[in-house]
Amino acid sequence: MKTEVFYIPFNRRRLLHSLALSAGGLLAPQVFAEALTLTPRQTEGPYYPDHLPLDQDNDLLHLQGDSVPAGGVVTEFGGRLLGADGHAINGAVIELWQADTNGCYIHSHGIQRGKERDPHFQGFGKIETNARGEYRFRTIMPGLYTGRTRHYHIAVVKGGKRMLTTQLYLAGEPANERDGILNGIKDEVQKLSVIREFKPVSYESKELVATWDIVIGGTPEDPERRRGGPGGPPPGGRKGPPPGGQGNRPPPPPQ
Ligand SMILES: [Fe+2]
């Protein structure tokens, strides 16, 4: 298993830094005290990996020992994990799992009809936040599959407890407007907080980058509402966490 965090070249780092500053990195926590919006809870969905890859680092584009990168449009996103009062949360684990470019997941039932899973795509990764609450992933644009718009699945684990399960969306995706899970977030500000514009990293590059800060409350998710372990189904069927906000109503059936 790789242990290193992927290296971010200087020009990209500078862009990310400027994005981070514009997203609030220059402002003191107290400025945020009344302004931070909790990142809304979203259903875990049915495809949290039921068999985790050996390589679980934050570069999903490359599997250890595999010289072939994953297919698809390369993306990067990251930002800070913050508490509701704006303080950075150190030492939490951010997990990402998502469809490959063919819309398939690392899951026994995650292969879409007529498709094959990209064997070069890691499908799942994680990273621990640093003292500034920062995290980052290098991955691909998630593939489409029936019934959903493009989305990333995210979980935040702190002290061994799942604090948040949510999804991240790409601005401008036509299917966003009819996605039942995204539009299950009735609070417009919360909804916009999980939609991010992925911009080209440079004029010449096809890689896309986005900044996304995640804001969590202090209460772990109810383990009865999750699907067992860090992601398996609970006894008696699926009950995803509420889509509309941390601590609101149950969601529609996961897709
Ligand atoms: Fe999904």
pLDDT at residue number 222: 80
Q: How far is the CA of 99 from the centre of ligand 1 (A)?
A: 7
Q: How far is the CA of 185 from the centre of ligand 1 (A)?
A: 16
Q: How far is the CA of 104 from the centre of ligand 1 (A)?
A: 9
pLDDT at residue number 58: 98
Q: How far is the CA of 97 from the centre of ligand 1 (A)?
A: 8
Q: How far is the CA of 142 from the centre of ligand 1 (A)?
A: 9
With 0-12 / 13-18 / 19 or more C-beta atoms within 10 angstroms meaning exposed / middle / buried, residue 52 is middle
- Longest CA pairwise span in the chain (Å): 52
pLDDT at residue number 3: 43
Q: How far is the CA of 33 from the centre of ligand 1 (A)?
A: 32
CA 87, chain centre distance (Å) = 20
Cα separation, 227 vs 120, whole angstroms: 27
pLDDT at residue number 168: 98
pLDDT at residue number 203: 86
pLDDT at residue number 245: 40
Residue 132 falls inside a structural domain: yes
Cα separation, 194 vs 202, whole angstroms: 24
Residue 51 falls inside a structural domain: yes
Tell me the torsion sign for CA atoms 20, 21, 24, 25: positive
Residue 232 falls inside a structural domain: no
Q: How far is the CA of 153 from the centre of ligand 1 (A)?
A: 6
Q: Where are the beta strands (DSSP E) in the chain?
A: 74-83, 93-97, 124-128, 134-140, 151-158, 161-170, 195-196, 199-200, 208-211, 214-216
Structure tokens that stand for 7 in this block = 């290296």
Residue 4 falls inside a structural domain: no
CA 15, chain centre distance (Å) = 20
The per-residue pLDDT for range 4-49, each reduced to its tens digit, is 455 444 445 544 444 444 444 444 554 544 569 999 999 999 999 9
Q: Which residues contact 107 (CB under 8 A, 6 or more apart)?
A: 46, 47, 48, 49, 50, 51
Residue 46 falls inside a structural domain: yes
Q: What is the pTM of this model?
A: 0.79
pLDDT at residue number 246: 52
pLDDT at residue number 6: 53
Residue 85 falls inside a structural domain: yes
Ranges under pLDDT 70 in the chain: 1-35, 223-255
Residue 231 falls inside a structural domain: no
Q: How far is the CA of 186 from the centre of ligand 1 (A)?
A: 20
The per-residue pLDDT for range 167-176, each reduced to its tens digit, is 999 999 999 9
Tell me the torsion sign for CA atoms 161, 159, 33, 137: negative
Q: How far is the CA of 21 from the centre of ligand 1 (A)?
A: 30
Q: How far is the CA of 14 from the centre of ligand 1 (A)?
A: 31
Residue range(s) defining the domain that contains residue 57: 10-225
CATH classification at residue 116:
2.60.130.10
Q: How far is the CA of 31 from the centre of ligand 1 (A)?
A: 35
Residue 185 DSSP class: -
Q: How far is the CA of 200 from the centre of ligand 1 (A)?
A: 24
Q: How far is the CA of 28 from the centre of ligand 1 (A)?
A: 35
Cα separation, 49 vs 32, whole angstroms: 35
Q: How many domains does the chain have?
A: 1
Residue 3 falls inside a structural domain: no
pLDDT at residue number 193: 98
pLDDT at residue number 227: 52
pLDDT at residue number 204: 87
pLDDT at residue number 153: 98
Q: How far is the CA of 12 from the centre of ligand 1 (A)?
A: 28
pLDDT at residue number 253: 40
